[in-house]
Chains A and B, each alone.
Chain A
Amino acid sequence: MGEHSNWPEWVYIGVVVALLCWVGAEAWNVERLVEHIPEDAKTIKVVGQQWFWTFEHEDGTKEIGELHLETGKAYRFEITSTDVIHSFNIHDYVVLLDAVPGRVNTVWFAPTEAGVYDIQCREYCGLIHYNMRGTLYVEDPT
């Protein structure tokens, strides 16, 4: 076995390691970009409880089950829960984050198109989980 050549194995290992490094770097970079919250983002407190969503704007305005936002502005959601774990999801804008009792999780997005979008709970949270929905109204600024 002295003259046995194993360079193909090393090439294979090198390619695999390089690809893993590339995948890790790409994912890390996208996560960094997506999680960078703009300084002028408006804060909206989101509270999940069995089985509806409550929203509180910066000016104290509260909404239950529906949320009105404007295009071209950034919004930071501070998400929590009062009972069990929920998960706040706006499917059309790829917003998804758990609502955990005793903890505030933060996610942001900037709506780009006016319209009506679904808000839903994406963590099984009890009997009416399937209907723990809300509506997001995105309007153009007046």
Chain B
Amino acid sequence: MRYMLGVVALMVVVATVNLSYAATEEPGEYLDRRTEIWNLFFRMMVVAFTIGAVVSGTLIWLIWRFRESHPKAKPTKYEGVDW
């Protein structure tokens, strides 16, 4: 339960911090929508590719490390003792 509360608190904090930063950028006249939209796209792509690299890297490491033939592989209790 306290984990859940922690996650909810984190959501509120992150959203508030973002909005307060955003509020400092008042809408300016004659902004270049090409720049704004491209910059947004660029930031989103940085996040997307970073997450993609972390997730796929984790999966690759997980599969490599926990294969049966790994030198440090140990049977879990779910697999019984016939290893």
Judging by beta carbons under 8 Å apart, are A29 and B22 in contact?
A: yes
Secondary structure at the A interface, as helix, strand, loop or mixed, is helix
In the complex, how many angstroms separate the beta carbon of A64 from the nearest chain B beta carbon? 26
Chain-B contact segment, one of A9-17, A48-56, A77-85, A125-133: A9-17
What residue in chain A is nearest B18 (Cβ atoms)? A25
Secondary structure at the B interface, as helix, strand, loop or mixed, is helix
| A137 on the B face (CB < 8 A) | no
Question: Interface size on B (CB < 8 Å)?
Answer: 27
Judging by beta carbons under 8 Å apart, are B14 and A21 in contact?
A: yes
Judging by beta carbons under 8 Å apart, are A33 and B47 in contact?
A: no
**Which residues of A1-24 have CB atoms within 8 Å of chain B's CB atoms?**
7, 10, 13-14, 17-19, 21-24
Query: 5 interchain pairs (CB within 8 A)?
Result: A25-B22, A26-B43, A33-B31, A34-B33, A40-B29
Interface residues of chain A, those whose CB is within 8 Å of chain B, are 7, 10, 13-14, 17-19, 21-30, 32-34, 36, 38, 40, 72, 74, 93-95, 109-110, 112
Beyond the given A22-B18, A26-B44, A29-B22, please list 12 additional residue pairs across the A-B interface where CB-CB is below 8 A.
A14-B6, A14-B7, A18-B10, A18-B11, A24-B15, A26-B43, A27-B44, A30-B39, A32-B22, A32-B27, A34-B31, A94-B33
